[in-house]
Amino acid sequence: MAAKEITVNAALEKGEELTAFVESMLEPYDPSPKATVQVDVAIDEVFSNIVMYSGAKTVTVVANLDEPTSVFTLTFIDKGNPYNPLEKEDPDVSLPVEEREIGGLGIFLVKKTMDDVHYERKADQNYFTIYKKIK
């Protein structure tokens, strides 16, 4: 299929629009419920991260599904400050409740549930891509 793209304002409530865009694109390909939920969560994590930390005004998302392999690729592009969330150290998920902090948990979750994640800075833009086999 041809890649599809959408551009939204960098505002938290726009996350729902992105989720709806991706779900309607994937639906005809009958993705597994588990993969769908994981992609939805990844969208929430990556998009909210960009909105809160990049300073960008808009975010463009390019979605592509490779039909032979069922690998779904979603790239978030923004003109904000250079920001690579993958440089952050993984949180210690074994700490007891009183010592637990929440920082970094979202991207950690994305790294664990997606098949691959990739960050690149080019032409003064951040490119953050997630890859997930949807069935």
Partner 1 sequence: MKIEQTRDNSTLTLALEGRLDTITAPELEQVVNANLEGLTALIFDFAKLEYVSSAGLRVLLSAQKKMNKQGKMEVKNVCAEIMEVLDITGFSDILTIV
Q: How many Å is the Cα radius of gyration of the chain?
A: 15
Q: Name the nearest CA neighbour of 128 among 75, 73, 92, 64.
A: 75
**Binding status of residue 98 toward partner 1 by CB under 8 A:** yes
The correct pick among 113, 114, 128, 130 for binding partner 1 (CB under 8 A) is 113
Smaller CB distance to partner 1: residue 47 or 72?
47
Q: Give the CA count within 13 Å in the CB-facing half-sphere of 50.
A: 30
Binding residues for partner 1, per CB under 8 A? 12-13, 15-16, 33-34, 37-38, 40-41, 44-45, 47-48, 93-98, 100, 102, 105-106, 108-109, 112-113
